Chains A and B, each alone.
Chain A
Amino acid sequence: MKSRILEYKEKEKETLLNSTKEKVLIHQEKYNSFVTILKDASLNEEMDSLLSNIPYVLKDNFSTKGILTTASSNTLKDYIPPYSSTVYEKLESRGSVLVAKSVMDEFGMGGTGTTGHTGVVRNPWNPDCIAGGSSAGSAAAVSDEIVAFALGSDTGDSVRKPAAYCGIVGYKPTYGMISRYGLLPFASSLDHVGVLSKYVYDAALVVNEIRGVDPHDMTSWDSSKIDLLSNINEDLKGKKVCYIKEIADISNYENPSEELISILENFQNTLKLLEEMGVLVEEVSIPSDLLETIPSVYTCISSAEATSNLSNLTGIIFGPRGEGKTINEMMIDHRTKGFSPLIKRRLVIGSYVLQKENQEKYFVNAQRIRNKIVTLMKDYFKIYDACILPCASSTAPKISDANDMVKKDLAVLDNHMAIGNFGGFPSITIPSGLVNNMPIGINLTSNQKEDSKLLNIAYKLEEKIDFKGGEEK
């Protein structure tokens, strides 16, 4: 069984923590993954659990009482939360050791890891490339073997895409399985807590420990009857998996690049591995015109929800106080100086779709299409245990080429993982190979609350792929 956490449990705990602290500092110099480094992090001598004394990293949008929490934004550059997120409290109660808080795209709005207020995060596979976002620092730290796991948040693919770009596992469980209390929100109906780790087993283990009903989060639900680890090694014979031909078939792309051809070949080879394990793999279809709406549906809903969620950033109660004679002037100054141009652009889109004359046309229709896509996927999940797809149209782009603009002909391939957020479906990315010496991944998604089934397929497939991540860097 491959598990960094179980491997680390065998190490002498003080040696593990000290070497982790040293690695954190070296990593920071090269890749800029961290907003805050907790140099005084100490062992928990009282606690003995599966996660006790395992060092970990938290994305900087999880509130940590008494510890700087910035969401990589100038609006919160000095913010010390007066309370902690539930996941942080749970990990503390298990005795895990927080060693750093990681850089992200500001408030989670971005997929590059280049927009944080402390600078660009670099990919450990090639420092000229992005780590992906928004959970950029968490992904880079796990990829560089600094920690066995890190937490991230995922609103469109913000755990799973950087995981793919960095050659690691990114898992977001069913919506509400993990409490979002204390997670600084981006778009509440799409936000999920997720785990980044080297191996599937580790991601399952961490989620097993931090999930559960939370009175502070009314969208959390009781998952105590689900054990994410007990079936993880079950034989896959008889399982059924589908893929969407409009996304995965090479014939959909005019003049595909060599890179895209290699990615889709790798995908076909991955399907063969599933078939070798006795899995029935079938092609299914979703109309292209429906799939092509995914980026816009995501943009409409997430930007609109963000305008509401970020309205508490006034600089009055917390955050740097803006200049002005009146409260209104102060709030305008705080928000104008604090938000980066990218956030302002997203908020302007949110404002646009929420204008009275646009609400029905864009925002409400986007919600209708969300329903249509989710219903279609649920119909497929009545037949299939999971849906498998490539994660992206390319390996991690160069930092100089990175932006968040939608690439027209590749928009669906690069944005389909948002379906997992539309439906709250459990969804996981695992490394599937290398293209041009950079990692690529495949994505598996199952029906709501069928996380065990999803993890079982991902675990067995990971075993079969045998990705030599660390060794080949």
Chain B
Amino acid sequence: MNNFTKELVDKFANDLLIELTGEENKMVLDEFDIIKENMEKINELEDIKNIEPMTHPLEFDDVLLRSDEVSDELFTEEVLQNTTHKTIDSIVVPKVVEE
């Protein structure tokens, strides 16, 4: 996948539920060559295949998972204040099951 196209950039964006304007798409295309050139440095390093990928900075030796009990809860009234589409205890969305 060496040649970026407008369509490919749109696909990457659409995968994340985002649409790009023509200008935004062009901006990404214009800088992708530089970004890709920089990212290729990652593949230029030798002898990394046997290194464990690091997903987290700390060892988890001393971390205890909390017990799975209901503790703090969010209050419906407070949660609902962030939407105007609601009933007394629910958020309203369009019908998702088609007839």
A binding-site residues for B, Cβ under 8 Å: 65, 78-80, 82-83, 175-176, 189-190, 215, 218-219, 221-222, 289-290, 292-293, 295-297, 299-300, 307, 311, 314, 316-319, 321, 325-328, 330-332, 335-336, 339, 341, 344-345, 347-353, 355, 357-358, 361-362, 364-372, 374, 405-406, 411, 421-424, 448
Contact = CB atoms under 8 A, between A and B. Distances in A.
A221 B62 contact: yes
30 contacts: A65-B78, A82-B75, A83-B72, A189-B55, A218-B66, A221-B58, A221-B62, A289-B41, A290-B45, A292-B41, A296-B41, A297-B42, A299-B39, A318-B83, A325-B94, A330-B93, A335-B17, A344-B20, A344-B24, A345-B27, A347-B18, A348-B9, A348-B13, A349-B35, A361-B42, A367-B54, A369-B42, A370-B53, A370-B54, A405-B34
Contact of B17 (A190, A319, A328, A405): A328
B82 interface: yes
Given A82-B78, A221-B58, A293-B42, A372 B48 contact: yes
B7 interface: no
A84 to B, nearest CB: 11
Contacts of B82: 78-80, 82, 317-319
B42 to A, nearest CB: 5
A289 B56 contact: no
Given A289-B44, A336-B19, A362 B51 contact: no
A53 to B, nearest CB: 28
Nearest to A297: B42
Nearest to A449: B58
Interface residues of B, number: 53
Contacts of A348: 9, 12-13, 16, 18, 20, 28
Contacts of B15: 351
Contacts of A325: 94
A25 to B, nearest CB: 28
A348 B25 CA distance: 10
A325 B95 CA distance: 9
A355 B35 CA distance: 16
Nearest to A448: B58
A326 B97 CA distance: 10
Contacts of A365: 42-43, 45, 48
B94 A327 contact: yes
Contact of B91 (A189, A289, A316, A352): A316
- A interface secondary structure, majority: helix
Contacts of A351: 12-13, 15-16
A291 to B, nearest CB: 10
B80 to A, nearest CB: 9
A299 B38 contact: yes
A350 B13 CA distance: 10
B60 to A, nearest CB: 8
Contacts of A175: 57-58
Contacts of A422: 54, 57
A317 B91 contact: yes
Contacts of B58: 175-176, 219, 221, 424, 448
Contacts of A336: 18-19
B63 A221 contact: yes
Which 6 pairs show the lowest CB-CB distances between chains A and B?
A424-B57, A367-B53, A318-B82, A82-B78, A371-B54, A351-B12
Interface string B76-97: 0011011111000001011010
A313 to B, nearest CB: 9
Given A344-B18, A372-B45, 19 more contacts: A79-B82, A83-B74, A289-B41, A297-B42, A299-B35, A317-B82, A327-B93, A330-B93, A332-B19, A341-B24, A348-B18, A349-B35, A351-B13, A355-B12, A361-B43, A362-B39, A367-B53, A371-B51, A371-B54
Contacts of B91: 316-317
A332 B17 contact: yes
Contacts of B99: none
B45 A289 contact: yes
Contacts of B1: 355, 357-358
Contact of B83 (A222, A321, A328, A331): A321
Contacts of A218: 63, 65-66
B17 to A, nearest CB: 5
A374 B54 CA distance: 9
Given A82-B74, A326-B94, A347 B13 contact: yes
A311 B52 CA distance: 27
B53 A368 contact: yes
B78 to A, nearest CB: 4
A225 to B, nearest CB: 12
